Amino acid sequence: MSTLAYLKSFFKDKDVASVTPTSRFCVRTVCQPIDFSQDITLVEYGAGAGVFSHYLLDNMTPGSQLHLFETNEILFEKLQQIDDSRAHFYDQSVEYVADLLPEEIVGEVDFIISGIPFSFLDAEVKLAILDQSYRLLRDGGEFLAYQTSGHLEDPLQDIFGNVKTSWEWRNIPPMTVYESIKQ
| pLDDT of the residue at 21 | 82
Annotated domain spans of the chain: 3-181
Query: Which residue type does 80 have?
Result: Q
pLDDT digits (tens, 9 = 90+) for 28-81: 999 999 999 999 999 999 999 899 999 999 999 999 999 999 999 989 999 999
The CA distance from 161 to 44, in Å, is: 22
Find out whether 100 and 92 touch, Cβ atoms under 8 Å.
Answer: yes
Q: What is the DSSP letter of 21?
A: P
Q: Is the pTM of this model over 0.85?
A: yes
CATH architecture entry for 3-181: 3-Layer(aba) Sandwich (3.40)
Of residues 36 and 6, more confidence is placed in 36
| pLDDT of the residue at 10 | 44
Average pLDDT over residues 91-96: 95
Q: What is the DSSP letter of 23?
A: P
| pLDDT of the residue at 137 | 98
